[in-house]
Amino acid sequence: MKTRIISAILILAALAACKKKVDEPTPNPAGNFNFETTIPGSISLTATPEYKGAIVKLFTADPDSGGSLLQTIRLDNDGKYISSIILPSSLKSVFLKSYFIGLPGDIEIPIVNKSITYNFFAVNKSTPSLTFKNTPAPIVHNGIVYKFMGGFNIQGLPNYLEPDRDQISSSFLQAVNNALPEQRPVPQFNPHYIQSGIQTDVQITELADVYVTVVHEGAGYRNVLGYYVYNTNNPPTSLSQIDTIHLIFPNYSLNGSGGELLPGMKVKLGRFPAGKSIGWVLIQNAFSQGNTTKPSTVVPSNTNFFSKPAFNPETNINLKPHMVMLNFAAQFQRFVIGFEDLRRDWSSCDNDFNDAIFYVSSNPVTAISQANVPVPGPAPADTDGDGIADILDEYPNDATKAFNQYLPFIDSYSSIAFEDLWPYMGDYDFNDLIVKMNLKNVLNAQNQLVESDYKFVVDHIGASYRNGFGFQLPYAESAVQSVSGAKLTENIITINAKGLEADQNAPTIIVFDNAFKQLRDTITINIKYNSPQNLQPMNQLGLNYFAFVDGNRGREIHLLGKQPTALANTALLGTGDDITDADRSVTYRNKEGYPWAMLISHDYKAPKEKVKIWDAYLYFNTWVNTIGVQRTDWYEDKPGYRNLNNIQ
């Protein structure tokens, strides 16, 4: 015991001798402020059991506008996903894209109280939305009468829906997903859907009531769905021969995606005698939403896409088809129709023909002709048999892997910056050691962790010490099978057979033991697990990062509030400027409330030597003094955020 005390005194004396003379910080952090720029939050996505296995992706923003991938998710057998997630604290919302026909997508979800919560089929009950207007007068455009079937509310939801929604089964949804999947262009994978001579209109062969039922919408526009009627033996050969288009859905947009439609909502078109045919039209972006004083309406456009290819605007005959009709009569007594809502001579057109999907049914069920109506094509390949189609599987040839989760996101780095004079204050320029990180967790089809690939880059060294860097996993050591990729050059780290640091209390990985020898190099740490792991501990606790100073393995510097490892010299805790308490409920905090390490969910740039961080990042103080409420993005490169003269 005496030896240990004397050793600690000698270490402290040595540290005091090299202590830099600095000014005290001017901001005043509250005692419980943790200086986190990432937040452990929760996520709850709710559909229904019919949507089991549906795949969605979370992005920082709309990926079409530059948003980056955070995570791919598969809904469980109850059609839900409930878990935890680590997010940049500056992120105010996430963008959800659905890759399952029938499940709404393209939804911006706000982050409220560190939670991402969304119910795909919760109906908006706001008073303006439920106010229906009377049937509008017909509209005449280019010689065609556009006739409304009834009234509708401000979001275009009709007041003439059938009283009961159709119950759409999981088997039917899966069949539609197999027939018209996302990211599979019809001309490439199912060209027989649009070949010459196939039937695209509904031909009535006996007196019948005809219905249209909502299945899916995946469009960026708020389109209008309509139909026209003609004698089967005398079809129109030009648009001038169509006198009336009946508007079924003034806004064919799903709830949460620009409208209020839900799968299964149903409209009766009417009773039709034998010898009549029904053609279809999708009017691009023609719904005009009003407000509480101005009613919503339809503004017919010149961009109409018809079931009859000849009526469509493309000049290339091979690009004229815009609608497919598929024969699901044998199994489901219905015909599925899918529209492509962009001009097919536009480069942005994906040709998957699933921007608006509905089905047509009749009573009696035999009243619609099946002649020349193509049957669905084969299901997309699932090479590894894990239940995830190859087109959505990020590891199509490995049944143990399916998706990736990223931190901070797929194409960016976060940074961890250290002051290395702990337990003394230092100059607070936060540039002694800066490590950039991109973390990828590999998940299986059940959203379980099976492997990790973590990239680290020594981005900046602002000190003379030969510092090392490592982290601990929030799992038992028995969960880890192997670790590879570490750069250990100094003979100061003992590694066990798994590649973990020996004699530790948790699985500990030393990334490098001398930053100078790894400057600007990318170090990739690969972690394999013995069995699939629950992702919750990773997302709730995160990694326990630390630096160790100048070859002294015991002199660890952790993020504020984190615990030292079993190899830390705990005699240094609570000494110098450090106020770690006896029960370690407070750790690595100095007398002014500041940390020695900060994890920054961004590509952080080093302040110049001896320039305090708040003199380089001009909203740092605001962030600290408001306990992280304001300027959560203080580290970003926005106008007025940085003093460029104080940044290296």
Contact 225, 249 (CB under 8 A): yes
* Mean pLDDT, rounded, for 120-147: 79
Residue 402 lies in a domain: no
pLDDT per position as a tens digit, 141-188: 999 999 999 999 999 999 999 999 999 999 999 999 999 988 889 999
Residue 377 lies in a domain: no
Q: Tell me: do 461 and 579 sit in the same domain.
A: yes
Task: Name the β-bridge partners of 339.
Answer: 323, 356
Would you state the pLDDT for residue 583?
86
Domain range for 419 is 413-606
* For residues 405-425, average pLDDT: 94
pTM attached to this predicted model = 0.86
SS3 457: strand
DSSP class of residue 233 equals T
Residue 12 has pLDDT above 80, yes or no: no
Q: Please check the confidence at residue 129 and state whether its pLDDT lies above 60.
A: no
Is the confidence at residue 528, as pLDDT, over 60?
yes
d(CA 76, CA 580): 43
- Let me know whether 356 and 448 are in one domain: no
Task: Supply the pLDDT for residue 20.
Answer: 41
DSSP single-letter state for residue 464: S
List the one residue out of 604, 198, 581 whose CA is nearest residue 434. Answer: 604
CA dihedral (251, 254, 258, 260) in degrees, to 10, reads 70
Q: For residue 516, count other CB atoms closer than 10 A to its CB.
A: 13
pLDDT at 137 over 50: yes
Tokens 């003199």 belong to residue: 615
With CA atoms as reference, report the closest residue to 557 among 578, 584, 581: 578
State how far the Cα of 352 lies from the Cα of 339, in Å rounded to an integer. Answer: 9
Helix (H) or strand (E) holding 46, with range, is strand 38-46
Establish whether the linkage from the previous residue to 408 is cis, with ω within 30° of 0.
yes
Q: What percent of the chain is predicted at pLDDT more than 70?
A: 94
Q: Do residues 166 and 213 make contact, with C-beta atoms less than 8 angstroms apart?
A: yes
Residues 354 and 424 in one domain: no
Beta bridge partners of 552: 549
Mean per-residue pLDDT for 223-239? 98
pLDDT given for residue 30 in this prediction: 62
Same domain, 486 and 357: no
Q: What is the mean pLDDT of residues 457-464?
A: 96
Q: What are phi and psi of 418, to 5 degrees?
A: -120, 145
Report pLDDT for 108.
94
pLDDT score of 131 = 64
Average pLDDT over residues 489-506: 98
Domain shared by 222 and 359, yes or no = yes
From 343, 363, 383, give the residue that closes a domain. 363
* Ranges of H-type helices in 445-599: 536-541
* Over residues 423-439, mean pLDDT: 95
pLDDT value at position 293?
A: 82
Q: DSSP character for 103?
A: S
Pair 393, 402: CB distance under 8 Å: yes
Q: Is the pLDDT of residue 398 over 80?
A: yes
Whether the pLDDT of residue 2 is over 50: the answer is no
- Are 460 and 321 in a shared domain? no
Tokens of 364: 């009696």
Report how far apart, in Å, the C-alpha atoms of 98 and of each of 81, 222, 645 are: 13, 17, 45
Per residue in 156-166, pLDDT tens? 999 999 999 99
Confidence at residue 3, expressed as pLDDT on a 0 to 100 scale: 38
* Environment class of 600 (CB within 10 Å of its CB; exposed 0-12, middle 13-18, buried 19+): buried
- Asked whether residue 281 is domain-assigned, the answer is yes
Q: Are 370 and 376 in contact (CB under 8 A)?
A: no
Helix (H) or strand (E) holding 577: none
**Element (H or E) spanning 622, and its range?**
helix 620-625
Helix, strand, or coil here: 409?
Answer: coil
Integer Cα distance of 321 and 307 in angstroms: 7
Q: How many CA atoms lie within 13 A of 600 on its CB side?
A: 26
Structural domain includes residue 312? yes
Asked whether residue 389 is assigned to any structural domain, the reply reads no
Convert the pLDDT of each residue in 293-332 to its tens digit. 888 999 998 899 999 999 999 999 999 999 999 999 999 9
Residue at 143 is within a domain: yes
Alpha helices for 264-423 (secondary structure H): 329-332
Are residues 224 and 317 both part of a single domain?
yes
- Neighbouring CB atoms inside 10 A of 243's CB total 12
The mean per-residue pLDDT over the stretch 122-128 comes to 55
Do the domain assignments include residue 401? no
Contacts of 469 (CB under 8 A, 6+ apart): 433, 435, 456, 458, 510, 511, 512, 515, 545, 546, 547, 548
Q: Are residues 349 and 422 in the same domain?
A: no
- The radius of gyration computed from the CA coordinates of the chain, to the nearest angstrom, equals 31
Give the pLDDT score at 468. 98
Q: Quote the pLDDT of residue 17.
A: 39
Q: Per this entry, what is the length of the chain?
A: 648
Burial environment of residue 134 by CB neighbours within 10 A (0 to 12, 13 to 18, 19 or more): exposed
CA-closest candidate to residue 228, choices 158, 149, 289: 149
Task: Tell me which residue has tokens 């299986």.
Answer: 444
357 and 426 in a single domain? The answer is no
Rounded distance between C-alpha atoms, residue 260 and residue 156, angstroms: 7
Looking at the predicted structure, is the pLDDT value of residue 19 above 70? no
Task: Specify burial of residue 121 (Cβ count, 10 A radius: 0-12, 13-18, 19+).
Answer: middle
Q: What is the mean pLDDT of the chain?
A: 92
Do residues 347 and 417 share a domain? no
Where does residue 480 rank: exposed (0-12), middle (13-18), buried (19+ CB within 10 A)?
Answer: buried
Q: Does residue 32 register a pLDDT over 60?
A: yes
Say what the pLDDT of residue 183 is.
82
Whether the predicted pLDDT of 125 surpasses 90: no
Residue where one domain finishes, among candidates 300, 328, 363: 363
- The Cα–Cα gap between 616 and 613 comes to 5
Is the residue at 602 inside a domain? Answer: yes
412 beta partners:
none
Cα–Cα distance for residue pair 557/52, rounded to 1 Å:
45
111, 218, 308, 361, 440 from 355: Cα distances, Å: 28, 4, 17, 20, 32
Q: How far apart are alpha carbons 595 and 29 in whole angstroms?
A: 10
Taking a C-beta distance cutoff of 8 angstroms, is the pair 467, 509 a contact? no
- Give the span between the Cα atoms of 360 and 596, in whole angstroms: 65
Q: Which 3-state string (H, E, C) describes 235-293?
A: CCCCHHHCCEEEEEECCCCEECCCECECCCCEEEEEEECCCEEEEEEEECCCEECCCCC
Q: Which of 348, 363, 378 is the last residue of a domain?
A: 363
Selection from 201, 590, 177 nearest residue 421 by Cα: 590
Are 342 and 428 found together in one domain?
no
> pLDDT class for 28, splitting at 50, 70, 90?
low
For residues 510 and 498, the answer to whether their CB atoms sit within 8 Å is no
Q: Using alpha carbons, select from 136, 83, 97, 92 the residue that is nearest to residue 114.
A: 92
d(C-alpha 531, C-alpha 480), whole Å: 8
| Number of structural domains in the chain | 2
Instruction: Please tell me the predicted confidence (pLDDT) of residue 130.
Output: 54
Identify whether residues 471 and 581 lie together within a single domain.
yes
